[in-house]
Structure 1
């Protein structure tokens, strides 16, 4: 959110959020959210693939990081998913 102003989470990170992600449906588990008393509205609406562009780098961060404003920011992922990607698997 800080880099782009967009709220999103990638599927691999969502899968690490306390069992409330349904891997088969690739979305939040209404059943688990209800069982835990977590309103669906508290979960990020936008689920993305690791390589999806979440948004463009905000001017403030571009200046701080020495990058061009509007640089695409990708969804990323958890360490194991990114290590698998880096290994070419």
Structure 2
């Protein structure tokens, strides 16, 4: 389950107020957006092979669409690995 879905699912159960829900959602989506662009740069800087990058992206990035975007920017094998693991 991605971060945004988890927040939306749990918020009513814990009686979270709208402001806190908004902050939590904004935080998750901003971090996912940053990861989309920054992860490939870090991966290249560390000379990660595509399989390792795909594994890292799948584990470290919450949102599936951001995982797909970052992995596809890195390469075909990274994309296959990341989407399979996610």
TM-score of the superposition, structure 2-length normalised?
A: 0.27
**Which structure is higher in strand share?**
1
Q: Who wins on radius of gyration, i.e. which is larger?
A: 1
TM-score of the superposition, structure 1-length normalised?
A: 0.27
